Structure formats: structure tokens, C-alpha cells
């Protein structure tokens, strides 16, 4: 199987690039975000490749690094998510952004991808939530607070503070992240009022 291609950009299609490698042109399908950042025709490029083999075709998918290729694989393990939907998600979100959104239970961010409705986003969050923290760029404490709020097992001050911030118009993942950081600085015994005040400061930064 092909895992990486290094060559020269020959031309672009709607959702693919032709990469010339020593005179052989490989058609590589890429997320739109990655296509937009590839160099112009005639310039060198390197892509991490995922090769999908089916009875009626062999198709190459290209990514800017190994992390994005790994998320392409992970997304396709979710029921109802094929290559098209996985590419759509990676077309608007970087690997770390996908991991953060899943770790925080941020359905709205995942749903921004074309073709990803509410049900598909919910399945992505549910089926990949145990794998996302290892790829996330946010700290474990923030993830823990977000998941405890989502599972209705957060302590009363934390839950009330997150609820208050969401009532002010902030998204639940953003509110939970702000309260998590507030709790870390204020301590485990902080009151709801303290967490709200510090949470608002975090959101204002």
C-alpha cells in the first residue's frame, strides 16, 4: 500500500490533485482545506496517503500529516461515516480541532461539516469520545469537566456555573472549558458565584 507520496503538483481537480512522482501522475483526493494550502502547479509537495481498495476501484486520499490521516481512519470507523463525510470533516477542521471538539462533546463544531447532520455528529461524539483525549491539545481537567457536565455527574457548583454561562449565550463546550480553568485556579471548594465570575474572565480573554 502507498503511505506517502512526494512529487510535483501537476494539476488540480474539484476535490483532488494530480501529483507527478517521477513521471507517474497519481490522482489524490484531499479535504478542501488541504487542497487550498497546497502549492501551485509545478511546485513540490508531500502528502500522507491512505489507500482504499474496493472491488470496483482503488482510490488515494491525501493529508498534510500522519495525524490527519489517522483521523480519517478513525472517522470512518463510525457507523454511517464513509470517506466523503470524513473528508468533509477534515475539510473544515484540523486534527487537533476534531479531537478537541469530540473530547468536549462539541456537536455544533462537528456539524459544521457539509453533509454532517445532528445524528451523524452525535454518533461521531459517542463512538470516538474515548479515543479523542489522546489527540486533543486541551488539558485533561477541561475534558473531564466537560464530560462530567455532559453525563450529568458534575458537582453542583460546576454544573450550575456551566448552566449560568450557557444561559448567557455561550456554547456548552466553551462554558465547560472556562469553568474547568476557573475551578483549577479557585480550588475544588469554590462556590458557584466564584466559578461564574472567573469563568467569565476566562471567556473574555
Q: Where are the domains of the chain?
A: 4-63, 66-134, 140-204
Q: What is the pLDDT of residue 61?
A: 96
Q: What is the pLDDT of residue 153?
A: 43
Give the residue from 82, 2, 34 showing the smallest Cα distance to 73.
82
- Joined grid coordinates for residue 120: 451523524
**pLDDT average per 10 residues of sequence, the chain (205 residues):** 92 95 96 93 95 89 91 91 93 86 82 89 88 57 58 66 80 75 76 83 76
Question: Which residue in the block uniquely carries the three cell numbers 485556579?
Answer: 185
- Quick one: fold of 66-134? DNA polymerase; domain 1 (1.10.150)
Q: What is the pLDDT of residue 19?
A: 97
38 neighbors 45 (Cβ within 8 angstroms): yes
Q: C-alpha angle 17/20/25, rounded to 5°? A: 75
- Quick one: fold of 4-63? OB fold (Dihydrolipoamide Acetyltransferase, E2P) (2.40.50)
Amino acid at each position: 500500500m502507498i503511505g506517502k507520496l512526494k512529487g510535483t503538483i501537476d494539476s488540480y481537480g474539484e476535490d483532488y490533485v494530480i501529483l507527478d512522482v517521477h513521471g507517474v501522475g497519481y490522482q489524490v483526493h484531499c479535504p478542501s482545506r488541504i487542497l487550498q494550502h497546497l502549492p501551485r502547479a509545478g511546485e513540490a509537495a508531500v502528502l500522507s496517503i491512505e489507500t482504499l481498495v474496493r472491488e470496483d476501484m482503488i482510490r488515494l486520499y491525501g493529508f498534510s500529516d500522519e495525524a490527519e490521516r489517522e483521523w480519517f481512519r478513525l472517522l470512518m470507523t463510525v457507523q454511517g461515516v464513509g470517506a466523503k463525510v470524513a473528508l468533509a470533516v477534515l475539510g473544515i477542521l484540523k486534527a487537533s480541532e476534531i479531537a478537541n471538539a469530540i473530547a468536549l462533546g462539541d456537536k455544533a463544531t462537528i456539524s459544521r461539516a457539509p453533509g454532517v447532520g445532528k445524528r451523524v455528529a452525535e454518533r461521531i461524539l459517542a463512538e470516538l469520545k474515548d479515543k479523542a483525549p489522546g489527540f486533543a491539545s486541551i488539558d485533561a481537567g477541561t475534558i473531564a469537566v466537560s464530560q462530567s457536565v455532559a453525563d450529568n455527574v458534575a458537582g453542583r457548583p460546576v454544573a450550575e456555573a456551566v448552566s449560568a454561562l450557557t444561559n448567557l449565550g455561550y456554547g456548552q463546550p466553551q462554558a465547560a472549558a472556562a469553568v474547568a480553568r476557573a475551578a483549577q485556579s479557585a480550588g475544588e471548594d469554590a462556590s458557584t458565584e466564584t466559578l461564574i465570575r472567573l469563568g467569565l474572565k476566562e471567556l473574555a480573554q
